[in-house]
């Protein structure tokens, strides 16, 4: 979970306009084509919670549960993009949580993976302050990545497998950077930079890999900002 800027754009303005029109209707919907398109662009078609990309089940999620309150239901700033797995887990159970369009979440929460040669990877998600929002977000992230029902546990295992594969590839990229020199090293650094950007899958975990290796790669920390 990393910061995603809610930029002004023609698509965002079209989404706001469609929400205003739908809100005026007795049975209006916030799931308009304009809203779906704008959120897809703004979130780079990535779930803002688990950080998976390339999914076909992305949904419109309310950061603050609306519970039927129309102002919250149709508020553009309250609409986020999430996958079905995360949307069902969060629902109205976790509130308030950190707003990733306003806060660098990966600076308030540490996202780490511990892996052993013959053991299943373990995720360590640790809050770095005692605020209620941080505590709720940590609890939500743990349920996202581990589940609490048989179905959600099975879904979470698939996410963790995708996460592990992505982090293994990123680790190899950093290894190649460490061994390279000249133009090859520059190319490797560019690849690392792209993998640490907000729109990359599982960016929070990758950034903490770099932070935890800051003594070896202090020059890469600038890409974690």
- Give the DSSP letter string of 55-76: -S--EEEESS--TT-HHHHT-G
End-to-end alpha carbon distance in the chain: 14
Alpha-carbon span 146 to 40, nearest angstrom = 26
Q: How distant, in Å, are the alpha carbons of 1, 70, 183 from that of 108?
A: 10, 31, 35
pTM above the 0.75 mark?
yes
Q: Contact 223/198 with Cβ under 8 angstroms? A: no
pLDDT tens track, the chain, 225 positions: 999 999 999 999 999 999 999 999 999 999 999 999 999 999 999 999 999 998 878 899 999 999 989 999 999 999 999 999 999 999 889 999 999 999 999 999 999 999 877 778 899 999 999 999 999 999 999 999 999 999 999 999 999 999 999 999 999 999 999 999 999 999 999 999 999 999 999 999 999 999 999 999 999 999 998
Q: How distant, in Å, are the alpha carbons of 22, 72, 96 from that of 19?
A: 5, 11, 23
The two tokens of residue 106 are: 């990966």
Measured on CA atoms in the order 56, 60, 63, 68, is the torsion positive or negative? negative
Please give the radius of gyration of the chain, using alpha carbons only, rounded to the nearest integer: 19
Angle 10-23/33-42 helices, nearest 10 degrees? 140
């Amino acid at each position: 979970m990393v910061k995603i800027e809610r930029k002004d754009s023609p698509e965002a303005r079209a989404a706001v306009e469609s929400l205003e029109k739908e809100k005026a209707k007795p049975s209006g919907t916030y799931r308009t084509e304009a809203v779906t398109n704008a959120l897809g662009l703004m979130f780079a078609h990535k779930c803002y919670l688990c950080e998976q990309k390339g999914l076909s089940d992305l949904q419109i999620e309310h950061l603050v549960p609306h519970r039927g309150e129309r102002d919250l239901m149709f508020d553009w700033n309250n609409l986020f993009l999430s996958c079905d797995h995360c949307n069902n887990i969060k629902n109205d159970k976790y509130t308030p949580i950190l707003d990733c369009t306003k806060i660098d979440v990966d600076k308030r929460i540490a996202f780490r993976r511990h892996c052993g040669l013959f053991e299943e990877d373990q995720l360590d998600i640790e809050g770095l302050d005692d605020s209620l929002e941080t505590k709720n977000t940590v609890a939500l992230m743990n349920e996202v990545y581990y589940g609490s029902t048989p179905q959600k546990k099975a879904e979470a295992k698939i996410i963790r497998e995708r996460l592990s594969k992505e982090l293994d590839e990123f680790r190899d990229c950093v290894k190649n950077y460490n061994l390279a020199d000249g133009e090859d090293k520059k190319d490797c650094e560019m690849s690392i930079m792209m993998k640490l950007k907000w729109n990359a899958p599982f960016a929070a975990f990758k950034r903490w890999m770099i932070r935890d290796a800051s003594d070896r790669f202090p020059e890469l920390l600038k890409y974690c900002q």
